[in-house]
Structure 1
Amino acid sequence: MSVRSEKTIVDIAEELGLSVSTVSRALNDHPNISAKTKEKVRKMARKLGYRPNAMAAGLRNNKSRTIGLIIPRISMFFPAAITTVVQNKLQEYGYHLIICQSNDSLEQEQQLANTLYSARVDGLAVSATLSTTDFSHFDIFKQNNIPVVFFDRTPRDYQAKVIKGDDFLGGFTATQHLIEQGCKDIVHISGPLSCNLYVERLAGYKNALQQHKIPFKKQRVFFHELSRENALATAEKIFAQQPYPDGVFATNDTTAITILEYCRKHNIRVPEDVKIVGYSNDPRTEIVTPSISSVDQFPATMGERVVSALMDLIQTRHPNTYRHPQEIVPIQLVARESSAGSPKKKK
């Protein structure tokens, strides 16, 4: 059985009795080619099953019109929301997106960086893994003048364009809100401090306590990957003995929702006995009962800024030399039922 050969523009030209250059211009929507000829060429291309070779075109003009994106997990609300915006905005600029997830594995992130470099992407956007502290696997992009933009989970001491949320203010605002609602014993559930997000949110939590003259207690702070399973284990520790805390600031919404479910199951009233604030304003926080207060990170704004930065840098002769490497996306607390009113007075 013979293998079907790939059709080329030469085949289209022979079928139509046109020159190869005319077919090429028609497929690329050249203004000097009539609409009638363009339609005739496209119709024959479809009939023959012609597929344009984007890789070959990229080699000719040194542009692939493709951007690489590495995110921790597509299943998480915040990176998923950003991915949607980035893809839609890139399409407006005529670019395609290759979406890769690292599954929070540093080894996988390193492999994906190499793969995307080999795919000749014109630029790269990255939200790093929880454990990425050495970013040298992205050096090859910088050395070859391929723009790299880090967002959300970003390097602390690696020279690069960074777009991040105001995580210190987010941590401060969430904690201050609980204090203003009457809380004086606030648990903080954090991700690992290898990640910039949780370093800054913890600093904001501590600063709010300090400003309100509430002592910081190490035993009220928990560090782990913010999964449902880890949140349940932490809930068991938090409520193992009285006095219970009167506030919980969780640095992601999956954790906040899990704490709420645990409290309901164990007859701990929210918000009367304990108030809860999460982080990211995941849509689930609005539909659970009671609805959960959360810090909105505005993923649409961050996604738009990522694309804008990439497009600016692609047009720059030396894209990885930055005068203004860091952009901060504002946050906003969305107060809901889980933190409403004054806490129950302890007898």
Structure 2
Amino acid sequence: MSKRSEKTIVDIAEELNLSVSTVSRALNDHPNISVGTKEKVKKMARKLGYRPNALAAGLRNNKSKTIGLIIPRISMFFPAAISTIIQNKLQEYGYHLIICQSNDSYEQEVALVNTLYSARVDGLAVSTTLHTTDFSHFDIFKEQHIPLVFFDRVPLNRNVKVIKGDDYRGGFAAIEHLIQKGCKDIVHISGPLSCSLYVERVAGVKAAFQQYKLPFKKSRMFYQELTRENALKACAQIFAQQPYPDGIFAANDTSAIAILQYCRELNLRVPEDIKIIGYSNDPRSEIVTPAITSVDQYPEMMGERVVAALIELLTTPSSGTHRYSQEIIPIQVVERASTGGDTIVKPKAKAKKAKVEK
């Protein structure tokens, strides 16, 4: 089957005996073109199956009106929630979004960065993989003054625009909550320390143990990708022998739900025998029985702030010096039955902004 030839504004102009410039202005609703001419041009465009060439238009004005987004996995609650917010907010500013997932593969992330650069996106927002420690593949965006915003999983100590959760406070607050509920032997299931999130959450965990004068036991720490399968493997070690812990802090709700199921199989009562707290406030944590206490990260706020940062960079003239800032989205422990409480109504939170310019 032969490939169908694309119709252009030249074809429309020939059919209507108009100039190419008149057709172009009519299709773009230029005020100097009469309503009648606009209607004739658009009717002929539909008849011929004309499609505007956004890429060609972008090459002419050096703007694609498209933003690239790279997230670890679209199946995870937190990045999925943020992606929806980012897309909806960008549409209000007239931008389209290309959503890519790295599947937590560094190699895939590098390839996606190059692909989106070649696609001439006007800006890029990124939540990095668990294993990204070399960020040099993003340098092309900085060098070309293309807006670049990192969120959630971010580089540490680099001259970039960052929107991140208060992960240190999140780790501290989760352990503090368990201690205040009477727990003295607490397990923490963390993600790998190659990722900024877990470096900071673990620092908060250690600080809480120190403040409340409880020993920090390396044997009660697990560092792993936070999947259901890995959570169950950790449980097999945790409950291989007694004494069992009286509290578990899992760094995501997928793990917390798997731990709850494992405890049920052992006939351990939650929260009477063991208390469980998760992270992210995934909607599933509220509908399991008992409902799981979790740390809310306010994905709506983070998504809105990512868009605000991109728009700020897009509308501010670039200069020889690269401006950057770090903005911290607050966290809130949402207490539910898994730690012995009813759901607490969350107070309205505000982001903290610490601007630095270089």
Equivalent position of 1:226 in the other structure: 226
1:12, CA displacement in angstroms? Answer: 1.5
Structure 1 position 159, deviation (Å)? 1.5
1:345 aligns with: none
Question: How do residues 193-212 of structure 1 correspond to structure 2 at under 5 angstroms?
Answer: 193-212=193-212
- Equivalent in the alignment of 1:344: none
CA contact (8 A) 2:160 2:324 kept: no
Asked if 1:5 corresponds to 2:34, the answer is no
Q: What letter corresponds to residue 180 of structure 1 in structure 2?
A: Q
Q: How many residues align?
A: 341
| Superposition map of 1:114-193 within 5 A | 114-193=114-193
Aligned mates of 1:59, 1:5 — CA distance in 2: 21
Q: Are 1:255 and 2:255 an aligned pair?
A: yes
Q: Any idea what the Cα deviations from partners look like across 1:251-304, whole Å, max 9, x if unmatched? A: 011000000011111111111111011000001001111100111111111111
Taking structure 1 as reference, are residues 299 and 35 closer, same or farther at Cα in structure 2, changes over 3 Å only? Answer: farther
The code of the aligned residue for 1:185 comes to D
3-state SS of paired residue (2:294): strand
- The equivalent of 2:106 in structure 1 is 106
Q: What's the counterpart of residue 236 of structure 1?
A: 236
CA distance in 2, matches of 1:169, 1:319: 35
Is the CA contact (8 Å cut-off) linking 1:190 and 1:221 kept in structure 2? yes
Residue type matched to 2:253 in 1? D
The equivalences for 1:60-71 within 5 A come to 60-71=60-71
| Cα offsets for 1:284-325 (capped at 9, x unmatched) | 001111100111111111111111111111123327945452
Residue 22 of structure 2 corresponds to: 22
Structure 1 stretch 36-45 or stretch 152-161: which is displaced more?
Answer: 36-45
d(CA) in 1 for partners of 2:134, 2:207: 28
The amino acid that maps onto 2:250 is A
Q: Any residues of structure 2 matched to 1:193-342 within 5 Å, and which?
A: 193-318=193-318, 321-340=321-340
The 3-state SS of whatever aligns with 1:325 is strand
Tell me, what secondary structure is at the counterpart of 2:318? Answer: coil
Shift of 1:23: 1.6
Q: Does the C-alpha gap of structure 1 residues 19 and 70 become closer, same or farther in structure 2, counting only changes over 3 Å?
A: same
Contact 1:146 1:320 in 2 (8 A): no
Residues in 2 aligned to 1:31 and 1:12: alpha-carbon distance in whole angstroms? 20
CA change 1:39–1:340 in 2 (3 A) is: farther
Most deviating of 316-325 and 292-301: 316-325
5 Å matches for 1:83-102?
83-102=83-102
Cα-to-partner distance string for 1:64-108 (whole Å, 9 max, x where unaligned): 111111110000000000101111111111111111110000000
CA–CA distance in 2 between the matches of 1:278 and 1:38? 58
Match of 2:352 in 1: none
SS of residue in 2 equivalent to 1:99: strand
Aligned to 2:50: 50
Mapped partners of 2:327, 2:159: distance in 1: 14
Report if aligned partners of 1:69, 1:124 keep a CA contact under 8 Å in 2.
yes
Structure 2 letter corresponding to 1:99: I
Report the AA paired with residue 215 of structure 1. Answer: P
**What is the root-mean-square deviation of aligned Cα atoms in Å?**
1.4
CA distance in 2, matches of 1:301, 1:153: 16
Deviation at 1:209, TM superposition (A): 1.2
Query: TM-score, normalization: structure 1?
Result: 0.95
Name the amino acid aligned to 2:210: Q
Which amino acid is the alignment partner of residue 240 of structure 2? Answer: A
- Cα distance in 1 for residues equivalent to 2:71 and 2:302: 14
Whether the aligned pair in 2 keeps the contact of 1:102 and 1:108 (CA below 8 Å) is: yes
Give TM-score, length-normalised by structure 2: 0.92
Are the structure 2 counterparts of residues 201 and 320 from structure 1 closer, same or farther at C-alpha, using a change threshold of 3 Å? farther
1:216-270: CA deviations, max 9, x gaps? 1111110000011100000111111111111110001100000001111111111
Amino acid at match of 1:298: Y
CA distance in 2, matches of 1:31, 1:274: 70
Q: Residues 304 and 35 from structure 1, CA distance in 2 versus in 1: closer, same or farther, beyond 3 angstroms? A: farther
Q: Offset at 1:28? A: 1.7
Q: Secondary structure at the match of 1:31?
A: coil
SS in 2 for 1:176: helix
Structure 2 unaligned spans of 5+: 342-358
Partner residue of 1:38? Answer: 38
Contact 2:13 2:20 in 1 (8 A): yes
Shift in alpha-carbon separation, 1:93–1:275, aligned structure 2, 3 A: same
How many angstroms does 1:129 deviate by? 0.4
Give the letter for the 2:70 counterpart.
Answer: I
Structure 1 unaligned segments of length 5 or more: list them. Answer: 342-347
CA contact (8 A) 1:150 1:163 kept: yes
Structure 1 residue matching 2:97: 3-state secondary structure: strand
Q: Per-residue deviation at 1:41? A: 2.3
